[in-house]
């Protein structure tokens, strides 16, 4: 435990002193503040003279305004945050030849990787919490609405999901920093994976769905069965992407009007009925039930990723050259 | 106390796939001696050191360091053994003091104690004046001396030095050798020195072991080896002659 704590403290110091951390947190805070003030002003105009609609506060995070919403921004940019904090975790020590020195101290070898992962997670947590609080404060000033218990709990869950999701990317980048000797290679490999998941999985899903279940326009309209099959395939494949999991989970948690993570075509009859009949927001617990599978998958891939990382690191020969 | 054994190996073997890096090494190092571990590059010197420290597991055979098995009990061994790797690295954006303090903390040395030790050892290795400079600005010789200070912070009983003088200028080499010798004489620290710079080894080592292609081909005091191999008496030989003789035979 002692070893973990010492390394953790040093790593935290390194993170906070690094230009990288300052730049990236400045960027996130800046974008967050800009989006919020734009969205906040728009909301203020809209609800002028009206009674306060339910869960208005969450709109600060989910409303897209003119550009994109804060949630979308974190969904896109969060992985980069994880990658930047971890891509040189181990190989930097290898390049500077401090790793062999570190492992010859009386600490357990796994404390090195545990401490590095934990310090990364802590930094991510600090950035996320700070930004969400900042936005909330700004939002309260702008729209004059104080969030209720439910809104706060939804935000807390959102932060937890985001933390897990970004930690997944942190794990990926640390894994690459264990595997690759050069920091440039590990950074590029992590970025390549990020691009693959954010763009190509979605693209690939629709290509494969088109190939397996082509939907053609016939005289009698669209073949309904084929269309459903097409949608199902597309959905299954795209749920391999952690990004899809994450964005489904967070939009459902933050938008109580969303009662399913499925698209319109795949909705069951009861879901459709509820959608058209009941215009009330879902209770928090129900929202959580909907995203539980997503949540568990995100936790699973995060742990899996760190587990692989741990395993590879523990098996590696530490040589000076 | 001179007869206490600090490192003992029995048929110690390490294989990487089919390549034998260290072949049935039998070695006994006594407390307080300066032992020179010689051999060409790739002879298995560093691999042996890594096995002594528990950083890599032996394929077969036994090794005991200060009475502990490094593969099973690496913690105990690392607490009492210092290791200076070849071309030691530092955190270049921290100064000498911070680097030493980090290592001290990893060794669970309380800050009050380590402060004094850091002052003491920086003085001994002659880096007191530069102690607040970032290590990134240090010369090779200064880094190597800082490495020695770092190893000594935990007050080890035994230190492994892997090519401690490589890349140093003549003056730096001399100071380093003097320092190593004084550690053994004044602090009774056992020193295990791996090197291929023979004249230096001859100057400071009590005993030497010669390792070629994973085999320990000779072990003993230098003059004994000279008698065996060259059949000459003292002063009339250099370690290099003995070494080359073994090297050609191997």
The answer to whether residue A37 is domain-embedded is: yes
Cβ contact, residue pair B75, A106, below 8 Å: yes
Q: How many domains does chain A have?
A: 1
Q: What is the spatial distance between Cα A309 and Cα A180, in angstroms, rounded to a whole number?
A: 12
The answer to whether residue A320 is domain-embedded is: no
Q: Is B13 on the interface with A (CB under 8 A)?
A: no
For residue A139, the enclosing domain spans 2-315
DSSP per residue, A37-87: HHHHHHHHHHTTTSPPPTTGGGHHHH--TTS--HHHHHHHHHHHHHHHHHT
What residues 190-229 of chain B have any CB closer than 8 A to a CB of chain A?
A: none
pTM of the model: 0.87
Q: How far is A88 from chain B (nearest CA, A)?
A: 14
Contact assessment for residue A209 and residue A233, using Cβ atoms and an 8 Å cutoff: yes
Q: What is the spatial distance between Cα B109 and Cα A128, in angstroms, rounded to a whole number?
A: 35
pLDDT of A193: 94
Q: How far is B55 from chain A (nearest CA, A)?
A: 7
Cβ contact, residue pair B150, A101, below 8 Å: yes
Express each pLDDT in A283-299 by its tens digit.
Answer: 888 888 888 989 999 99
The answer to whether residue A321 is domain-embedded is: no
The answer to whether residue A61 is domain-embedded is: yes
Cβ contact, residue pair B83, A317, below 8 Å: no
Domains belonging to chain B, first-starting first, are 5-249 (3.40.50.300)
Cβ contact, residue pair A101, B75, below 8 Å: no
The answer to whether residue A153 is domain-embedded is: yes
Taking CA atoms, A123 is separated from A135, A176, B24, B176, in Å, by: 18, 20, 49, 42
Tens of pLDDT along chain A (321 residues) come to 788 999 999 999 999 999 999 999 999 999 988 988 888 888 888 877 777 676 788 888 888 877 788 888 998 889 999 999 999 999 999 888 898 888 889 998 889 999 999 999 999 999 999 999 999 999 888 888 888 888 899 999 999 999 999 999 999 999 999 999 899 999 999 999 999 988 888 888 888 888 887 877 666 666 777 888 888 888 888 888 888 889 888 888 888 777 666 666 666 777 667 666 666 777 888 888 888 989 999 999 999 999 999 999 988 876 644
The answer to whether residue A47 is domain-embedded is: yes
Express each pLDDT in B206-243 by its tens digit.
Answer: 899 988 888 888 898 888 888 777 766 656 677 777 88
Q: Within its chain, how far is the Cα of B180 from the centroid?
A: 10
Question: Which distant-in-sequence residues (6+ apart) come within 8 Å of A233 by Cβ?
Answer: A205, A208, A209, A212, A213
List the single residue in A with minimal CA-CA distance to B154. Answer: A105
Helix (H, G, I), strand (E, B) or coil at A28: helix
| Residues of chain A with C-beta less than 8 angstroms from the C-beta of B144 | none
The answer to whether residue A68 is domain-embedded is: yes
Q: What is the spatial distance between Cα A109 and Cα B150, in angstroms, rounded to a whole number?
A: 19
């Amino acid at each position: 435990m002692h070893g973990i704590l010492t390394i953790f403290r040093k790593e935290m110091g390194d993170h906070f002193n690094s230009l990288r951390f300052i730049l990236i947190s400045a960027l996130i805070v800046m974008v967050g503040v800009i989006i919020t003030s734009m969205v906040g002003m728009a909301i203020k105009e809209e609800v002028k003279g009206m009674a306060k609609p339910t869960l208005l506060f969450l709109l600060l995070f989910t409303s897209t305004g003119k550009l994109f919403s804060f949630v979308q921004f974190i969904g896109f940019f969060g992985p980069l945050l994880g990658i930047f904090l971890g891509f040189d975790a181990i190989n930097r020590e290898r390049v500077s030849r401090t790793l062999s020195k570190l492992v010859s101290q009386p600490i357990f070898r796994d404390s090195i990787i545990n401490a590095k992962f934990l310090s990364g997670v802590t930094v991510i947590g600090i950035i996320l919490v700070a930004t969400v609080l900042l936005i909330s404060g700004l939002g309260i000033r702008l729209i004059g609405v104080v969030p209720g218990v439910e809104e706060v709990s939804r935000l807390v869950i959102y932060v937890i999901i985001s933390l897990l999701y970004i930690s997944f990317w942190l794990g990926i980048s640390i894994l690459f920093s264990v595997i690759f000797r050069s920091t440039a290679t590990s950074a590029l490999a992590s970025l390549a994976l990020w691009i693959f998941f954010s763009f190509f999985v979605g693209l690939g899903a629709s290509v494969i769905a088109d190939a397996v279940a082509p939907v053609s326009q016939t005289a009698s309209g669209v073949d309904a069965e084929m269309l459903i099959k097409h949608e199902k395939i597309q959905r299954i494949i795209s749920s391999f992407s952690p990004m899809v999991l994450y964005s489904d989970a967070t939009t459902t948690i933050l938008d109580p009007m969303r009662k399913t993570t499925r698209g319109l075509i795949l909705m069951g009859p009861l879901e459709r009925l509820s959608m058209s009949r009941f215009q009330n927001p879902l209770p928090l617990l129900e929202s959580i039930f909907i995203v539980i599978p997503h949540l568990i998958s995100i936790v699973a891939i995060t742990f899996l990723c760190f587990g692989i990382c741990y395993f590879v690191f523990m098996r590696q020969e530490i040589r000076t050259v | 106390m001179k007869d206490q054994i600090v490192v003992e190996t029995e048929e110690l073997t390490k294989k990487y796939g089919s390549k034998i890096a260290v072949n049935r090494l039998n070695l006994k190092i006594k407390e307080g001696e300066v032992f020179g571990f010689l051999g060409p590059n790739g002879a298995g010197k560093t691999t042996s050191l890594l096995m002594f420290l528990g950083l890599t597991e032996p394929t077969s055979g036994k090794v005991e360091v200060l009475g502990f098995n490094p593969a099973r009990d690496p913690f105990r061994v690392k607490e009492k053994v210092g290791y200076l790797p070849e071309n030691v690295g530092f955190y270049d954006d921290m100064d000498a003091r911070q680097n030493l303090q980090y290592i001290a903390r990893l060794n669970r040395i309380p800050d009050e104690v380590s402060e004094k030790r850091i002052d003491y050892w920086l003085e001994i290795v002659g880096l007191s004046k530069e102690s607040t400079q970032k290590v990134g600005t240090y010369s090779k010789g200064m880094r190597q001396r800082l490495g020695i200070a770092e190893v000594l912070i935990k007050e080890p009983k035994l230190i492994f030095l892997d090519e401690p003088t490589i890349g140093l200028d003549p003056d730096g080499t001399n100071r380093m050798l003097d320092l190593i010798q004084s550690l053994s004489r004044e602090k009774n620290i056992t020193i295990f020195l791996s090197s291929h710079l023979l004249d230096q080894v001859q100057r400071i080592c009590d005993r030497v072991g010669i390792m070629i292609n994973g085999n320990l081909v000779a072990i003993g005091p230098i003059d004994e080896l000279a008698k065996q191999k060259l059949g000459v008496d003292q002063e009339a030989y250099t370690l290099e002659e003995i070494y080359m003789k073994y090297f050609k035979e191997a």
